[in-house]
Amino acid sequence: MFYSRYILTAAWAAAFLGTAGAADTAEHQFQRLTAEVRANQKPAVGELIEVDIDLATSPGFSIEQIGDVAEIRYRMAFNNIAEGWSWQPLANVAVDDYYRYKFLPLQSVIESRGEYAFEDKIGETQQMKVEWRYDYFLAFENLYDFYPRVVDDDAGFVARVPSGRAQKVTMRATARLIEPVISESTTFWKAIHAKPTDFTLKKRYLVGKLETVSFIDGESGALLQRLMPLPAKQ
């Protein structure tokens, strides 16, 4: 069977990430770690990974011009991982979140896996397409190491850079892998007459402790600003 596949990114991101020396793709890193697990190798707990954040699928990302300075904001209020291993139903919402793990989107890959004839509506045979989509994320639980926990939809990662260098900015994160290193969930939607596509969605997570978030000039590759965890309270 012929498979076609493509990576979903914004055109400008593809162009400028290449110039800036992009990190290895999330897809490749996930495949490598999966192979190590299947080969019964010791999980790479503690390994430092570097990933590019997919700004094209980040609705909380914005740039605001304030005089000669641009404020780059990456909102995190709704970046919760809604998987069973992240859910804390007994959380005290005054001091903790229901969703323990947060995410940064990294990459999406779509595979077209052919089609088949099927009669979903009586008397009408259709060609049903088969598509798989793989969404990759960085999962981490230490968001509030970077800023205090507040009830504010605008809360997130913020950088202020010279106005002329903000329009082609990219973002990158580093994290140290923690157990279980990788995780995956699968959701399937069966093709019907109104939507003639068998669609399989796989969410794949690289699980780690977030160490840095960097804002990078997409043209030159120069580091504009790097965010690190706040100093620990004494």
The confidence score (pLDDT) of residue 9 equals 38
Q: What share of the chain is helix, strand, coil (3-state, %, to 5)?
A: 15, 50, 35
Let me know: does 115 contact 103? Beta carbons within 8 Å. Answer: no
pLDDT tens-digit map of 68-106: 999 999 999 999 999 999 999 999 988 999 999 999 999
Average pLDDT over residues 20-28: 81
pLDDT value of position 22:
66
Instruction: Read off the pLDDT band of 39 (50, 70, 90).
Output: confident
> Is the pLDDT reported for residue 3 higher than 50?
no
Please indicate, yes or no, if residue 234 is contained in any of the structural domains: no
Q: Does residue 205 sit within a domain? A: yes
Q: Is residue 49 part of a domain?
A: yes
Of 129, 109, 135, residue with least CA distance to 198: 129
Identify whether the C-beta of residue 224 lies closer than 8 Å to the C-beta of residue 215: yes
The answer to whether position 37 is within a domain reads: yes
pTM value is: 0.88
Is residue 93 in some structural domain?
yes
Instruction: Read off φ and ψ for residue 115, nearest 5 degrees.
Output: -155, 170
In a domain, 233, yes or no: no
**Is the pLDDT score of 64 beyond 50?**
yes
Range of the domain at 206: 4-227
pLDDT score, position 165: 86
Q: Is the pLDDT of residue 4 over 70?
A: no
Report the domain count for the chain: 1
Q: Is residue 232 included in any domain, yes or no?
A: no
Using 50, 70 and 90 to split pLDDT, how confident is the model at 21?
low
